[in-house]
Amino acid sequence: MCRRLKVLLFMTSFFTFVTHPTVAINSNHYEETFFNQDVVNALKLLSPRELVRNHNFNAAFTREKIKSNRTLCLEELIIMDESLLEGKMWALQMIDASSKLPSGILQGNFVDLGMFDECISVYDNSSEFEIRGRHCMYSIGITLGNFTLPMNPSLSICVPSQCSADDIAYLFNNTLQTISPSNHSMISLATTSCSIIDKTIWDTEFIVCLSLLVLFVGFLIACSVCDYIFSIRNSNQKRHLAKGIISSFSLQRNAASILSIKQNEGSLPAIHGIRFLSIAWIVLGHEFVLQAMSVNINELDIFEFIQSWKSLYLFMGPFAVDTFFVLSGFLMTYMFLKSIEKQKFFNIPMYYLHRFFRLTPAVVALLAISIAFIPKFTSSARWDSLIGLIVGNCRKNWWPTIIYVQNFVNVNDMCLPHLWYLAVDMQLFWISPIILYPLYKKPKIGLLILSGFIVASIITPAVIVSVNDYHPLSFGKETNITAIMEMFKHVYIVPYTRASPWLIGILAGYCLKNNMKIVKKSYVAIGWFLAVVAFVFVTYGTRTFTDPEYVYNPIWETTFNALSKPIWALAVCWVIYTCVNNQAGPVSHFLSWKYFMPLSRISYCLYLVHFVLEAIETFAERTPAYFSQINIWHYYLSDLIICTMIAFIFSLMFESPIVVLEKILLQPKSTYESHKDTVNGEEDEA
């Protein structure tokens, strides 16, 4: 389970549906498997009740001869078995909390979580042992001929607390020996896991993080009170630097700045709409993947859904990430050229430090909160698996995340995998002076360099996909977990395969800053026609890979992988360009809606926190769910609202103060007299 969950958590970083990595599988395979009488009999004999009943088949397990490390577990299992025969309630509760073969297996009801709370509430001290319940899960691998079931049936078993996952594996394999030898090759133990007993609440990292958080909140409140007093007593006086620093942590000032709908002169209002709609699309995509990762009673319906047109808007989700790369390159270039025209020099150290301090405090806060607080939120049948992978990985690999190299360092154990985007964006930012400074000093040379990078960024992913026979979108023909992770590491999360939208965004920012405007309406109409054609091309290309009738075509796959991102980026740039030049009509009016502005300002923090909240929801579940589009949208809309509120608080505490403080310290004349719109879209490049 942990191995599969690790892959799934990686894959939630994009919307490719790899929860069931081979979309070519259909219900017929499952029907053939579960209509097989040998499989049915084996599953019955490997049910939780039978595992407990068969624990003493080996004479070495009798009370007189138990001398192994499993002594306590086996002793308590014997007591449980005897108590069950005597009808004792606590033993009945343990069996009642364990799985039985579920109904609806042919519809994909492969996983039964049992009754977690009933299991862990079991307590008995009437015997020589103090017995408590422990919830464990085990999954059964099934191979029938050349077909291996990609989703293993998983059952829960409630056992005494002295038992571990290794003990469950021993019970399983011991019981498996009682099955006909001819069936051994088709049945195997896939994974085992057990809930953690006696979790520590007040551990060191929790106390330290909670103390720092309380102190920081107190500091923010104190600064807010001081700023309010300053505003009353010195409303007409120029602020000193110290007062400006205090005001940068003022909650009321930062809240007003975030929530402001005032458009400054020279702003690009359409950017706000594009940014918020893109992050909303990303949240929707992750909601879909996490709901698919959930325990659903109709898993096979998901196969049918992803092969239909209905899922297309979800499969196109990765292009929302490409839109963010476009915005990043566009805004970086636009603001760089605007700034260097005023300052007439390029301070490279401050250029990099600004970016680092702009992004990192919120990331550090998220890591600290995830490590210290997530384990304390709740518990469930699958909760400890999530904790082990997210919290465990962050404990080990927090440092690559805060220096933005996690897409190259310890990738298999990446902390908070959705943050790969920040690493790629930062790495592209590191090389940006090679392009931007020549664009300013020697535009022809700069454009030549930029063109070379664009061509290379188109050719590189095509070569990688072609040479390694990677599938560019859905990984639909690939069932090997190792191969899927290789594709993820070498194609999806590296800068040299993701650079084309960012580079095209740079070109658009340069053109817009130099007032390159198309005057003729006929040219504008042609531009819109080509933009629509581009969007249709990407949509159609995406659909071909989800079509169950699709036949692998290496030429088409290589072509689509090479061209889809730059074509999408060109279309997005056209929308930005025409909106800025008032040539987009109702599109511009919609994207420039003033209430997109505050939502856009918190989009960075929304990106940071949304995946964590959605993962907590998914893995805290106690019972199986029913997968449907209605349920996806139900969870999505509620999560989007909740995540937006959390993102606002997160921005208020960990993003806006740092942005304002940096401007005060680096540009004291411009900032500490009044709060400007410091997260106004022109500067929010993330």
Domain-terminating residue out of 194, 219, 239: 194
pLDDT at res. 29: 62
Quick: pLDDT tens for 584-612. Answer: 999 999 999 999 999 999 999 999 999 99
Is residue 205 domain-resident?
no
Please check whether residue 439 is in contact with residue 447, taking contact to mean a CB–CB distance below 8 angstroms.
Answer: yes
Q: What does residue 199 show for φ and ψ, rounded to 5 degrees? A: -65, 140
Is residue 136 located within the same domain as residue 233?
A: no
Quick: pLDDT tens for 67-99. Answer: 454 678 888 888 888 898 899 999 999 999 999
Quick: pLDDT tens for 225-268. Answer: 998 888 887 655 555 777 778 888 999 999 999 999 988 777 89
Is residue 158 located within the same domain as residue 247?
A: no
Average pLDDT on 294-308 reads 88
DSSP result, 70-135? THHHHHHHHHHHHHHHTT-HHHHHHHHHS--PPS-GGGT--B----HHHHHT-EE-SSSS-EEEEE
What's the Cα-to-Cα distance from 53 to each of 45, 50, 418, 669, rounded to whole Å? 10, 5, 44, 79
Quick: pLDDT tens for 321-335. Answer: 999 999 999 999 999
Is residue 133 located within the same domain as residue 236?
A: no
What's the Cα-to-Cα distance from 417 to each of 373, 405, 522, rounded to whole Å? 18, 12, 46
Average pLDDT on 533-541 reads 95
Is residue 135 domain-resident?
yes
Indicate the number of domains in the chain.
Answer: 2
Instruction: Provide, rounded to the nearest whole percent, the portion of the chain with pLDDT above 90.
Output: 51
Is residue 313 domain-resident?
yes
**Ranges assigned E (strand) in 338-449:** none
* Residues spanned by the domain of 458: 210-671
Quick: pLDDT tens for 647-661. Answer: 999 999 999 998 888
Distance CA 164, CA 135 (A): 10
Q: Which residue has the higher pLDDT, 453 or 241?
A: 453
Q: Which residue has the higher pLDDT, 400 or 24?
A: 400
Measured from the Cβ of residue 612, the count of other Cβ atoms closer than 10 Å reads 18
Say which residues have a Cβ less than 8 Å from residue 494's Cβ, sequence separation at least 6: 407, 408, 424
pLDDT at res. 18: 34
Q: Is 649 exposed, middle or buried (0-12, 13-18, 19+ CB in 10 A)?
A: middle
Is residue 438 domain-resident?
yes
DSSP result, 11-46? HTTS----SSS-TT--HHHHHHHHT-HHHHHHHHHT
pLDDT at res. 241: 72
Task: Assess whether pLDDT exceeds 80 at residue 676.
Answer: no
Q: Select, from the ranges 16-20, 51-55, 489-493, the one with the highest average predicted confidence (pLDDT).
A: 489-493
Task: Assess whether pLDDT exceeds 70 at residue 62.
Answer: no
pLDDT at res. 594: 93
pLDDT at res. 401: 96
Average pLDDT on 358-374 reads 95
Q: Select, from the ranges 335-339, 375-379, 682-686, the one with the highest average predicted confidence (pLDDT).
A: 335-339
Is residue 379 located within the same domain as residue 237?
A: yes
What's the Cα-to-Cα distance from 72 to each of 164, 284, 446, rounded to whole Å? 11, 47, 72
**Three-state DSSP class for residue 141:** strand
Confidence at 307, pLDDT banded by 50, 70, 90: confident
pLDDT at res. 402: 96
Average pLDDT on 176-192 reads 77
Average pLDDT on 514-535 reads 90
Is residue 243 located within the same domain as residue 327?
A: yes
Task: Assess whether pLDDT exceeds 60 at residue 426.
Answer: yes
Task: Assess whether pLDDT exceeds 60 at residue 577.
Answer: yes
Is residue 328 located within the same domain as residue 362?
A: yes
Task: Assess whether pLDDT exceeds 60 at residue 312.
Answer: yes
Is residue 683 domain-resident?
no
Is residue 432 located within the same domain as residue 487?
A: yes
Say which residues have a Cβ less than 8 Å from residue 450's Cβ, sequence separation at least 6: 435, 439, 503, 506, 507, 510
Averaged pLDDT score across all residues of the chain: 84
Question: With the CA atoms of 316, 319, 320 and 321 taken in that order, what torsion angle do they form, in degrees rounded to the nearest 10?
Answer: 130
Task: Assess whether pLDDT exceeds 50 at residue 399.
Answer: yes
Strand 154-160 versus strand 131-144 pairing type? antiparallel
Is residue 663 domain-resident?
yes
pLDDT at res. 668: 46
Is residue 246 located within the same domain as residue 121?
A: no
Is residue 110 located within the same domain as residue 226?
A: no
Is residue 121 located within the same domain as residue 214?
A: no
Is residue 53 domain-resident?
yes
Domain-terminating residue out of 194, 225, 257: 194
Is residue 187 located within the same domain as residue 215?
A: no
Domain-terminating residue out of 169, 194, 219: 194
pLDDT at res. 235: 55
Confidence at 535, pLDDT banded by 50, 70, 90: very high
pLDDT at res. 686: 37
Query: Which string of b and e fits 520-551 if b means at least 16 CB within 10 Å?
Result: eeeebeebbeebeebbebbeebbbbbbeeebe
Is residue 143 located within the same domain as residue 91?
A: yes
Is residue 556 domain-resident?
yes
Distance CA 40, CA 298 (A): 19
Quick: pLDDT tens for 6-40. Answer: 544 444 444 433 333 333 445 566 666 666 667 77
